[in-house]
Structure 1
């Protein structure tokens, strides 16, 4: 397969083989235990394959469908680990116990990986739709849940609309450039800037819908509230990592420091997402909706890193994605393991009822808030450094101001967990696997914040995607040469 498709990462056929095997096992005899074992083994094997040597790339590399560079390897590792965490959350959770549930999760993971590594418009769109269709089934999984059908219908309509807008933008980009390469069209074309500007605007609109960036965010809180908790985690973490990776690759060859329409649109959406997401979460009493608002705000922070090319731009985004994935996955795991209502009131007195779970949830929330010693503090500081190096003063002011707003609702949940209860309440306990997942994510969040050198070293060893389109050999990039060209 790799010989037929030059540059095809081995993780993709491994995931495809795991999906086929799971389908055969479901057709033969149903077993949830066997289904999750096959799914987790497939994810672990795909994770190990990220460091397997690739076959040489024959022919002209500009015709490649996939770019298995360092950026893809890093993003794919985050996607596979986040998907594995989602499966562990779903194990024996009420309403998600079924073979097909893990099959859809594998399909969604495959679509996310295709998006992260695609160098071709058609391949990118196929990956996007694979992810979207699997999410549709996962969101509506709770057939008896009163809001599941509403969430699924909202996602179906808006996902279809955003896909149509995105596809129209890709078609205009092809009409302008004559190439299917997944990259922002040049504004210096012979026909003038109107066509490439329209193409870029439509592609960005479609991607912003999928990323739930403001003002295209209104669907996310309703969908995450109606979806099962593991699916909400999958939407907030895995799908957003893949979408941001694709957005960064789309602008890999563009100079985002130049004042043009695309950079202005990205900057406006970044500011709106920072404030809009935090203000949305500020008034929420439901933890799922609160984390949805938090997720929107973090999209804005990541857009600041994207708009700060230079010594720290992509590296800061990569560190932030890892910090966000660990903290958000841990928060949803704690939410699912608590077996209490998702309202903040249900978490009152949790430090008395289940102190270990409450401590883990507090660690995740202070990491999302950017409070030391959790990794979220270092990740946000890293983005600030990137913004300062690129002189993004307005965006930096927005980041600081919106982060102050975010402190209130994150610490409000911690305060509720510390409140004494008038009488003792018993809290049901989750599965041992979920408890182990929460403990691991909490430890990683703290240790990565205390010792971030290893993570920073990994992000600075990423390779530059743009030259790979033009030359057949991979080359290490200096820290200031990651993804962007000066």
Structure 2
């Protein structure tokens, strides 16, 4: 149907409209600053209309997109995260100052559009298109690094090749799913329950494997540290936050929050154990802060999957709080790294460069310490509440092995998170020459806002977080819980 019957969430109209304006402005006159400002205005507009839509959803549920409190919540997180990342890019704009690159902010917007399409998808077609738009955007963004040049190219090539393989696996699983169900609705072939035949199992597992690669869940995790280290810091933040939220939101939508088939429980349980242990153990040996954050991101995916595997009334709070805590804390770390960097000094990507920061720049060191406390699950950060909620879901479902893995992984995480704080509190070996500080009020404001979110969410969760929690998505095949 064409016309008023077409159902389309408002952000999927606002973001493409802004992209078209940016393209028209680029044709008229190239200006990286104007392009970035236009992108931020577009995202603010999309955030304002995130809960709205056009048209009406067909009664038979055969729609390309769907909108409820869950999709609105995760879409708002994605838009807010991209706004923060664009603020990190306000001055450097992804280049060395000698070349105008309007494409930098344009690629961020295209990646955000792909992420939003994945979040709102109720059909395999828009989800796969969103997945590819996001992947191509990340490939282009990873090359916007001038020092060293080859690092960005290497990161882009690794992501392009491995992402292409995972997309092929996902697409083959989608084809099998269509052969089994005769429909492109975004639901697993095994949603009916019981022990299915081999073909539906193969289709579901291949789709799940494609999603696990994009989530960087073990054993599909080895690409993430290399890509994040080779990309600019804002792009690394985009990969660690926006892409993860989009994929995990789609994963929850795909399988719903009902009980999973036994074979799926076993697969996801093994992936959770491998992901948590791999992420935390890899982080122990890192000397690059960007690679450490990549390994940390892998471990946090494992924690999130525990909540995904434990359906119930506790699950809704666990997933939504953890997504917000992870986004705010991780963005806070990358914003602090960006504020720490300077053209004539350290870039903030090496852990050793943070030595003695409490003595030279106590504000940045305090903000970084709060973000690391939150990621480690230590009060007063919101990460403590998030990890507690995930543990509560495991206790409710008596997932003893997964709970033990969560505890062991959290203990290992304490070492490398607190080690960064120890380095910042260690006096410098030699008196440091004062660095020329570049006034960057937008970064200072961003760090303050993210710090307030992390602290307020941890100290007053009942007032700051729980009123915003959406209801969990309905299990596949039960669209009654969906709303317009």
Normalising by the smaller structure, the TM-score range is over 0.9
Does 1:416 find its partner at 2:415? no
- Give runs of aligned pairs for residues 31-70 of structure 1, distance below 5 A: 31-52=31-52, 54-55=53-54, 57=56, 59-70=58-69
Distance in 2, matches of 1:454 and 1:190, equals 41
Distance in 1, matches of 2:476 and 2:267, equals 26
Which of residues 219, 224, 238 in structure 1 aligns to 2:223? 219
What SS class does the counterpart of residue 9 from structure 2 fall into?
A: coil
Instruction: Give the match for residue 372 of structure 2.
Output: 365
Distance in 1, matches of 2:205 and 2:142, equals 29
Distance in 1, matches of 2:19 and 2:460, equals 37
Q: Could you tell me how far 1:208 is from its partner in structure 2?
A: 1.0
Instruction: Give the match for residue 124 of structure 1.
Output: 127
- Change in Cα spacing, 1:137 to 1:371, as seen in structure 2 (3 Å) is same
Instruction: Output the TM-score relative to the length of structure 1.
Output: 0.93
User: Which structure 2 segments of 5+ residues have no match?
Assistant: none
CA RMSD in angstroms comes to 2.2
Q: Could you tell me how far 1:469 is from its partner in structure 2?
A: 6.0
Instruction: Give the match for residue 332 of structure 1.
Output: 334
Distance in 2, matches of 1:300 and 1:467, equals 23
- Give runs of aligned pairs for residues 107-118 of structure 1, distance below 5 A: 107-118=110-121
- Change in Cα spacing, 1:419 to 1:191, as seen in structure 2 (3 Å) is closer
Residues 184 and 253 of structure 1 are in contact (CA less than 8 Å); yes or no, is this contact kept in structure 2?
no
- Change in Cα spacing, 1:334 to 1:198, as seen in structure 2 (3 Å) is same
Which of residues 439, 445, 448 in structure 2 aligns to 1:439? 448
Distance in 2, matches of 1:189 and 1:452, equals 36
Distance in 2, matches of 1:190 and 1:295, equals 34
Q: Could you tell me how far 1:57 is from its partner in structure 2?
A: 2.4
Q: Could you tell me how far 1:34 is from its partner in structure 2?
A: 1.3
- Give runs of aligned pairs for residues 2-401 of structure 1, distance below 5 A: 3-4=3-4, 6-52=6-52, 54-55=53-54, 57=56, 59-93=58-92, 95-96=94-95, 98-143=101-146, 144-186=148-190, 192-252=196-256, 254-256=258-260, 258=261, 260-339=262-341, 340-341=346-347, 342-401=349-408
Instruction: Give the match for residue 478 of structure 1.
Output: none
User: Which structure 1 segments of 5+ residues have no match?
Assistant: 476-486
What SS class does the counterpart of residue 312 from structure 1 fall into?
A: helix
Distance in 1, matches of 2:227 and 2:142, equals 7
Residues 73 and 470 of structure 2 are in contact (CA less than 8 Å); yes or no, is this contact kept in structure 1?
no
Distance in 2, matches of 1:55 and 1:85, equals 28
Residues 40 and 87 of structure 1 are in contact (CA less than 8 Å); yes or no, is this contact kept in structure 2?
yes
Instruction: Give the match for residue 452 of structure 1.
Output: 461
Distance in 1, matches of 2:5 and 2:447, equals 39
Distance in 2, matches of 1:3 and 1:446, equals 46
Report Cα offsets for 1:374-416 as digits up to 9, x if no partner: 0000110011111111221111110011100000000000000
What SS class does the counterpart of residue 255 from structure 1 fall into?
A: coil
Q: Could you tell me how far 1:457 is from its partner in structure 2?
A: 2.5
Report Cα offsets for 1:113-144 as digits up to 9, x if no partner: 01011000011000000100111100111255
- Change in Cα spacing, 1:189 to 1:78, as seen in structure 2 (3 Å) is closer
Once the two structures are overlaid, the 10-residue window that deviates more, 332-341 or 289-298, is: 332-341
Q: Could you tell me how far 1:425 is from its partner in structure 2?
A: 3.7
Instruction: Output the TM-score relative to the length of structure 2.
Output: 0.93
- Change in Cα spacing, 1:20 to 1:295, as seen in structure 2 (3 Å) is same
Q: Could you tell me how far 1:309 is from its partner in structure 2?
A: 0.4
Distance in 2, matches of 1:92 and 1:199, equals 46
